[in-house]
Amino acid sequence: MCMEGIEQNPVIYELMSEMAFRSEEVQLMEWIKNYSYRRYGKVVHQLETAWDILYRTIYNCTDGIADHNKDFIVQFPDWDPANGGPAGSLVISDSGSARHILIESKSSLPQAHLWYPTQEVIKALHLFLEAGKDLAGSVTFRYDLVDLTRQALSKLANDIYLKAVIAFQRKDLETLDLHSKKFLRLIKEIDQLLATDDNFQLGTWLESAKSLASNPGELRQYEWNARTQITMWFDTTQTNQSKLHDYANKFWSGLLRDYYLPRATTYFNHLREALRENRTFRLDAWRREWITHSNKWQTDTKLYPVSSEGNSLAMAKKLFKKYLS
């Protein structure tokens, strides 16, 4: 695993690696169709269709924004919903060039970057689930199924988060409670999904760092480094997060459950308390509590699994039926 976005989206790296051996332009539609066969070892028509959809949606971002992983589960907005948009909200500005410029937004709500119709991706996921009975033993299929299910659910979570903060703005405690609990439940269930594949384990990252140590002092230092790098870099104050918090955010089992879930839980608890007590949201109090938790998590030495547990296909089907069908 690497922090700079490598070792994910295998289709990108397979195509890139081929380019060194090609002298003619790649016919992408045909290449994608053949990729499905090479990836899974057999012709499965549902997956050919699914990859055609993914090629036209997730893998077809043309708006010039390079950093796409802004999902609220892993990059939680740091703001008071009663006072406009979160600090550092980004929108696209037409710079007159091929690449757009990101500028701070005055929007009243945070916006996670979305460049494709989510219903199309849900169709692709449904096709993956239909193909599951023919590919139960394929590790590449399992990886792609887990990753695609995670992608679809994370976009759903973005919508649920916005419904929760809109309810807060309207002083609707019952609706805030409904959507905040649904958001937290999704984090737990996505964590359970990720736990079913070896490639989405926090433990793998931590143990790889610790394995480099030659003495107990290095062991603690390397684990702290590994935990800090993927969460909040260490230039915080009591009430101000590092500007690089969530810089290397990851959808990994263990990280969702023990890091992102407590953060969101604490935030929504403070929102509910504000409505119950008919007062303003205490942003600094939330930040202080959250930063303290983050610092403690970074110095913790809890062991996390390095191998999967559970059935990816069964879990993906369960979550699809519950949230996406």
* Distances in whole angstroms, Cα of residue 158 to Cα of each of 112, 114, 153: 7, 10, 9
Q: How far apart are CA 262 and CA 276, in angstroms?
A: 21
For domain 10-324, the CATH class is mainly alpha
Please report the pLDDT score of residue 3 as a whole number: 53
Q: Please check whether residue 143 is in contact with residue 197, taking contact to mean a CB–CB distance below 8 angstroms.
A: yes
Q: Which tokens is 12 given?
A: 């990108």
pLDDT digits (tens, 9 = 90+) for 96-131: 333 333 333 445 789 888 999 999 999 999 999 999
Q: Please check whether residue 144 is in contact with residue 58, taking contact to mean a CB–CB distance below 8 angstroms.
A: no
Please report the pLDDT score of residue 267 as a whole number: 98
Please report the pLDDT score of residue 6 as a whole number: 66
Q: How far apart are CA 215 and CA 38, in angstroms?
A: 44
Helix 139-169 / helix 118-131 crossing angle, nearest 10 deg = 140
- In the chain, which residues have pLDDT < 70? 1-7, 67-69, 84-107
Please report the pLDDT score of residue 237 as a whole number: 82
pLDDT digits (tens, 9 = 90+) for 28-86: 999 999 999 999 999 999 999 999 999 999 999 988 887 666 899 999 999 999 986 55
Query: Following CA atoms 240, 242, 248, 249 in sequence, which dihedral angle do they give, to the nearest 10 degrees?
Result: -10
